[in-house]
Chain A
Amino acid sequence: MKNKRGFEFSFGWIFAIIVGAVILFLGIYAAMNLVKQARSTGDTFAGKELGIILTPIETSAEDFNKPTPISFPVETRVYNTCDSLGNFGSQKISVATKSSLGKTWEKPGVASTFYNKYIFSASTIEGKSATVFAKPFNFPYKVADLIFMWSNNDSYCFVNAPDEMKEELLFGNVRGVNFTSSPTECKKGSKKVCFSGLTGAGCNVEVNLASQSVKKDKQTVYYYSDKGNALLYGAIFADSGIYECQVKRLMKRTASLALIYISKSESLAPRGCSSNLEGDLSAFVNQTLSFNSTIELRSLELSVENIGRTNDALSCKLF
C-alpha cells in the first residue's frame, strides 16, 4: 500500500522554520548594514586624513614644493567638491574605497570640509596613488597655497610648454608629465596640454599664453599670470567648474587679507609709517568681493599691479 499522506509538518516545525528564517534574515541584514557602516566610517576617516596630510605639502617660503606621491591602501576614489558660498567658501573632500564585500564602489563617506584649502583637480580622482604638489598664489600679496592633484592612472603630455614651466616640473621630477614638441609624440592615452599656437590636433587642453586663457572640455577659463603661474597650473589640472569655484574662493580670501592689511596700515600710520594704500585696498576689496567669473581677472590685473608697485616703493612694507 502506498502512503498518500506524504511528509507531515507539525505546526511547531512550521513556526520554528518561519521564525528561524526571520531571525536569519535580520541577522544577515544587520551584518550587511554593519559592513556598509564600517566602510562608510573608514571612508569618512580617510577623507579627513587626506585633508590633514595635505597641510604639510603646502608651501612656506619655497615657490614650488616638490611633488609628493600619496599612496592609498586600496583602489580609492577621491571626490573634490568646491563650494563658493560663505565668507571663504569651502573645500570638501570625500573618499570611497573599492571593496570585494558588497558593491564594488559604495557612496563616498561623509565629506570633510576645509575652509583654508584649495585643491585643483578633477572632480573625481581614481587610483591607488596620486601625485600632489603645491604653489603659492600671489595677488599681489600671498593669498594661499594652491594644491594640484591628479591620479597616477592619468598622465599629461605638455606640448610646446614654456621653458620656465618645463624646468620647474623637470626639476621637481613630477611623475606623469611628459614634454614634447608635437601632439603626435605624446604617449597614447595621455592628456595632451597644448600651448600657444596649437589648437585642435587632438589637444585635450589648449593654453593661450597671450590671452591668458585655458580651453578645456569646450569651456574657456582665464588665469592671472603671477610670478609662479599658480593659476595656470590650476586651470590645467582642475575641471573647469572646480577651477572657477576655487578662484572665486581665492578672491574672497584676497578681500579678507586686504581688510587685514588696511587695519595694519591704519595701526602703523600713527607710529610713523603711512602707506597711503588704504584707499586702493578698499577699492580692491569691493572688486574682489563682487568677483563672479575668471574673465574678471583681467580687470583686476591693473589694481593688483598698482598695489604691488606702491607697496614695493614703501620704506616699511605692508606685505
Chain B
Amino acid sequence: MRCHVNYFKNQKGQMKIQEMAFVLVAILIFFGIIAIFFLRIGISGLQGSVENQRAEEANEIVRKLAATPEFSFTSKDCDNCIDLDKVMALKDRKAYAGFWGLDYLQIKILYPEKTGECTKGSYPDCQTITLIKNKNETGIAKSAFVALCRQEFKQGGYVKCELGRISASGKGLDSLGGTK
C-alpha cells in the first residue's frame, strides 16, 4: 500500500518537472522568435542605410568627378570642364573599373543632339560614353550637368565645349556580395 502511494507521488512530481521543462522550452522558443523578428527588422534597416550611404557617396563623386585628373580639362579657361579626349582614352582602361566604387558611370552629350555610344570610329559624333556598367542591377543614378570640352583643329584650332550630363550610381548590395 505504501509503495503504491510513493509511486503516484513520484509520477506527479515527474509530471511537474516535465511541465516546467516544456514551459521553459516554450519561453526559449518565444524569445528566439522575438529575437529573429527584431534581427530581420534590423538587417533590412541596415541594408537601407548601406544603400543610402552608397547613393550619398555616388552623389559626392558626381559632384567632384569633373575635377579629378582623369576627367578634368586642364586649360586655364575651363576649370570644371570634362576633357572628352581623356574620357575616350579612359574608356579603354580596365584598371579603373573599381577605382571610384561605382556600378555605373556614363557621360552623355545633351546639346547638340547626337545619337549612339561613342567608339574610336564614331567619336566625336556620338552621344554617350559609358565608362562603367555593372551587368547586375544598378542603383538610382545621380546626375550633374557638365561642360564637355575637346580640342578642335579646324580654323586654326580652338576648344569646343558642349553641354552634357554625368551620371553615376554607387555599388549596390548585389555587387558587394550581399543579398537584397
Q: Which residues of A contact B (CB under 8 A)?
A: 10-12, 15-16, 19, 23, 27, 30, 41, 45, 48-49, 51-52, 55-56, 58-61, 87-88, 114-116, 141-144, 253, 256-257, 259-261, 263-264, 267-268, 271-273, 315-317, 319
A264 touching B89 in the complex, CB below 8 Å, given contacts A61-B79, A87-B95: yes
Distance in angstroms from A254 CB to nearest chain B CB is 9
Residues of chain A within 8 A of B27, CB atoms compared: 23
* Interface contact B64-A259, CB-CB below 8 Å: no
Point out the residue from A12, A19, A45, A264 that lies within 8 Å of B85, measured CB to CB. Answer: A264
Point out the residue from B60, B79, B98, B153 that lies within 8 Å of A115, measured CB to CB. Answer: B98
* Interface contact A260-B89, CB-CB below 8 Å: yes
A115 touching B89 in the complex, CB below 8 Å, given contacts A23-B27, A45-B53, A257-B70: no
Taking CB atoms and an 8 Å cut-off, the chain B residues in 60-101 that contact chain A are: 60-61, 63-64, 66-70, 72, 74-75, 79-80, 83, 85-86, 88-90, 92-93, 95-96, 98-101
Residues of chain A within 8 A of B74, CB atoms compared: 141-142, 317, 319
Question: Who on chain A is nearest to B53 by CB?
Answer: A48
Distance in angstroms from A288 CB to nearest chain B CB is 14
**23 pairs, A vs B, C-beta closer than 8 Å:** A11-B13, A12-B17, A15-B17, A16-B20, A45-B49, A48-B57, A52-B56, A55-B61, A55-B64, A60-B79, A87-B95, A87-B99, A116-B99, A116-B100, A256-B95, A256-B96, A257-B69, A259-B93, A261-B89, A263-B88, A273-B151, A273-B153, A316-B157
Question: Who on chain B is nearest to A51 by CB?
Answer: B57
Point out the residue from A11, A88, A263 that lies within 8 Å of B99, measured CB to CB. Answer: A88
Point out the residue from A16, A88, A260, A315 that lies within 8 Å of B86, measured CB to CB. Answer: A260
A60 touching B53 in the complex, CB below 8 Å, given contacts A115-B98, A267-B89: no
Residues of chain A within 8 A of B153, CB atoms compared: 271-273, 316
Distance in angstroms from B38 CB to nearest chain A CB is 9
A263 touching B49 in the complex, CB below 8 Å, given contacts A142-B72, A317-B75: no
Question: Who on chain B is nearest to A256 by CB?
Answer: B95
* Interface contact A260-B93, CB-CB below 8 Å: yes
* Interface contact B88-A144, CB-CB below 8 Å: no
Distance in angstroms from B17 CB to nearest chain A CB is 6
Question: Who on chain A is nearest to B16 by CB?
Answer: A12
* Interface contact B57-A256, CB-CB below 8 Å: no
State A10–B17 Cα separation when bound (angstroms).
Answer: 11
Question: Who on chain B is nearest to A316 by CB?
Answer: B151
* Interface contact B57-A52, CB-CB below 8 Å: yes
Distance in angstroms from A271 CB to nearest chain B CB is 5
Q: Which residues of B contact A (CB under 8 A)?
A: 13, 16-17, 20-21, 24, 27-28, 31, 35, 46, 49, 53, 56-57, 60-61, 63-64, 66-70, 72, 74-75, 79-80, 83, 85-86, 88-90, 92-93, 95-96, 98-101, 120, 151, 153, 157
State A264–B35 Cα separation when bound (angstroms).
Answer: 58
Residues of chain B within 8 A of A271, CB atoms compared: 151, 153
State A114–B61 Cα separation when bound (angstroms).
Answer: 12
Distance in angstroms from A23 CB to nearest chain B CB is 7
Residues of chain B within 8 A of A48, CB atoms compared: 53, 57
Distance in angstroms from A18 CB to nearest chain B CB is 10
Question: Who on chain A is nearest to B78 by CB?
Answer: A61
- In this complex, the member of A11, A19, A51 whose beta carbon has the largest number of chain B beta carbons within 10 angstroms is A19
Residues of chain B within 8 A of A56, CB atoms compared: 60, 63-64
* Interface contact B64-A58, CB-CB below 8 Å: yes
- Closest 8 pairs between A and B when the two form their complex, measured CB to CB: A263-B89, A61-B79, A60-B67, A272-B153, A55-B60, A87-B95, A142-B69, A260-B89
Residues of chain A within 8 A of B69, CB atoms compared: 141-144, 253, 257
Residues of chain A within 8 A of B151, CB atoms compared: 268, 271, 273, 316
Question: Who on chain A is nearest to B28 by CB?
Answer: A23
